Amino acid sequence: MSEFPIHPVPANFADAHIDAERYAELYRRSLEEPEAFWSEQAEAFLDWLAPWETVCSYDFTTGDASWFSGGKLNVSQNCIDRHLPARAEQAALLWEGDDPADSRTITYAELKDAVCRLANALKARGVGKGDRVCIYMPMIPEAAFAMLACARIGAIHSVVFGGFSPEALKDRIIDADCCALITADEGLRGGKPIPLKANADKALTHCPGVHSCIVVRRTGGDIGWDAERDAWYHELVATAPAECEPEPMDAEDPLFILYTSGSTGKPKGVLHTTGGYLLQAAMSFKYVFDYRDGEVYWCTADVGWVTGHTYIVYGPLANGAISLVFEGVPTYPDAGRCWEVVDKHKVNTFYTAPTAIRALQAVGDEPVKRASRETLRLLGTVGEPINPEAWEWYYRVVGDGRCPVVDTWWQTETGAHMITPLPGATALKPGSASFPFFGVELALLAEDGSEIEGPGAGYLVVKRSWPSQIRSVYGDHQRMVDTYFSHYPGYYFTGDGASRDEDGYYWITGRVDDVLNVSGHRMGTAEVESALVLHDKIAEAAVVGFPHDIKGQGIYCYVTPMQGVEPDEQLKAELIALCVQEIGPIAKPDVIQWAPGLPKTRSGKIMRRILRKIAENELDGLGDTSTLADPAVVDNLVENRPG
């Protein structure tokens, strides 16, 4: 599959938590004796207030799953209190600000104090168990405090990425029926302020259900204020008591909602629960990153994405680890920033997205070589397929050829790693996520739903429940069943294609549905299309992805103006602005092509396969166009292809 050499397990990982033999033995046991296996793990990794009655029950025709039911625990207690007093003075979070001169250390004792005070402040404002709290924050420690404070009192958090527009924020607040919002005056990224409170104010005009807006003062910038609704974070926590008993939660009580894009309609609120989620987060963190006590671990994701939830906050803190929170961007003040931060905070593990690696690779080796990086022991990637060239650069240049690269495949819906190398167990093939994690049983399906045996390619599906599995789509359980469990009943449908080679390694090829992956950000083509057709001069739009050197995929829009409208550059600019306004800057189209007509079947279905080929400039492979209502439409699109 790849001409790149295999990298065997390096000698310095000989004493890793999991070696090849142990992986084989534990993986076999996780499938053959799941109850015993998961009981042992749940006891080893988590503190329980009451034991569970049933380890797992599930039904993959309905999508129902329940783990450790009857068991009681609290996530914030597991992430904080149980590490005290032993780790009271150890850092829990290291914060590196956007400005290289700004940093903070938050110890486990300080984390407990901050989380308890905010939890009490939320309670004082009437927020309780089961209530939904929206978190719209920059990458500052208070974002983690807010998540953990919700977990402490049993409130369900819904973190919305700080790069989303007021419109997108509003939709998510309303869908989850949130009663409170935690935000900041402004964020700061690459030296530029992000108007979070101003965005929140716009969104909240349409959200009468939000009675409280708690605002962290980050920049001191000018903001609007609603005295009834708004409160300064620092004022609330100054007077709130510093002790707050963790709420005993059932293992299946909801922990959080996180919105993610699918192929149709509005983003879905993926619901995760307490016990199973935390177990797989904790366990995968320790084993995949081979985490050792006292090591400094840095994941560059934003807490607005699932990677930030599981691998900045919950996984690391459940292990008593030191997790670095970075407010800025990899290229500010210059392209050497990441490696400077690695040296400054003595980072041992660095976990980022392929798009960031490709962007840094494009700048060259010099900014990397400027830093010693001598503390680095392990590298990781997540979010999209990594091309072997970028993998090799990461391995050779960033890791100086001595740090394994773990390419971790998983999804918002899976909650935690599903396919990944273990650095002490797996010989690495650049570009392959390699083997399933403990308890994960995979299959590749052919179009007709039959399982492909041995080497081959097909739809990637999961054959049995795993602890951190999606439990529901908030407010629309049927949508979960339809999206993940109805394509091939009895299987969880990932939406990804994959192949398996002769050594059993999995290679993820990307989405097989209408989901784009732009710089590691998931986006439905339908979302971008809905934004485009909001314009009153636009009749119809179809959006597809196309290969992009840095972003992985770019956004290609075919747009049909209303009759009589002469499309021009001005209209193009308005459409781009509309996408940014409706979704956020991540949804900025790369190409807009005017389309007098779109290729449709006689039943009116848009033939996206053809649009994808044109966008990819694969004009020879357009395939059969005879079923089209009007084949001439395709010729027009090919002739007028920009560039």
Q: Does 409 bind ligand 6R9 (CB under 6 A)?
A: yes
Report the distance separating Cα 34 and Cα 42, nearest Å: 12
Residue 176 beta carbon to ligand 6R9: minimum distance, rounded to whole angstroms: 18
Under 8 Å between Cβ of 116 and 243: yes
Long-range contacts of the stretch 510-514 (C-beta < 8 A, 24+): 510/384, 510/385, 512/459, 513/262, 513/263, 514/263, 514/264, 514/608
Residue 465 beta carbon to ligand 6R9: minimum distance, rounded to whole angstroms: 18
Q: Does 305 bind ligand 6R9 (CB under 6 A)?
A: yes
Compute CA distances 81 → 68, 73, 124, 157, 596, whole Å: 22, 12, 22, 20, 63
Which of 384, 514, 527, 582 is close enough to bind ligand 6R9 by CB under 6 A?
A: 384
With residue 190 as reference, give the H or E element that holds it.
none
Give the total of residues touching ligand 6R9 (CB under 6 A): 23
Q: Does 553 bind ligand 6R9 (CB under 6 A)?
A: no
Which of 377, 471, 511, 551 is close enough to bind ligand 6R9 by CB under 6 A?
A: 511
Under 8 Å between Cβ of 609 and 597: no
Which of 236, 382, 442, 615 is close enough to bind ligand 6R9 by CB under 6 A?
A: 382
Tell me the per-residue interface mask from 515 to 544 with ligand 6R9, x by CB under 6 A, - otherwise: --x----x----------------------
3-state DSSP percent of the chain in helix, strand and coil, to 5:
30, 25, 45
Q: 350 CB contacts (<8 Å, ≥6 apart)?
A: 298, 300, 338, 342, 376, 378, 379, 380, 398
Tell me the per-residue interface mask from 123 to 152 with ligand 6R9, x by CB under 6 A, - otherwise: ------------------------------
Residue 388 beta carbon to ligand 6R9: minimum distance, rounded to whole angstroms: 12
For residue 208, is the peptide bond before it cis, meaning its omega torsion is within 30 degrees of 0?
no
Half-sphere exposure of 483 (CA within 13 A, CB side): 27
Which of 408, 468, 472, 593 is close enough to bind ligand 6R9 by CB under 6 A?
A: 408
Residue 119 beta carbon to ligand 6R9: minimum distance, rounded to whole angstroms: 28
* Amino acid at the residue 277: Y
Question: Would you say how long the chain is, in residues?
Answer: 643
List the structure tokens of 336.
């050497």
Report the distance separating Cα 316 and Cα 464, nearest Å: 26
Report the distance separating Cα 104 and Cα 111, nearest Å: 12
| Binding positions for ligand 6R9, 439-468, rule CB under 6 A | none
| Binding positions for ligand 6R9, 255-274, rule CB under 6 A | 260
Which of 407, 514, 527, 529 is close enough to bind ligand 6R9 by CB under 6 A?
A: 407
Q: Does 385 bind ligand 6R9 (CB under 6 A)?
A: yes
Which of 77, 412, 434, 593 is close enough to bind ligand 6R9 by CB under 6 A?
A: 412
Going by the annotation, the residues of the binding site are 189-192, 307, 383-385, 407-412, 496, 511, 519, 522, 533, 535, 538
Applying CB under 6 A, the residues found at the interface with ligand 6R9 are 260, 305-307, 382-385, 407-412, 433, 494-496, 508, 510-511, 517, 522
Going by the annotation, the residues of the binding site for ATP are 383-385, 407-412, 496, 511, 522
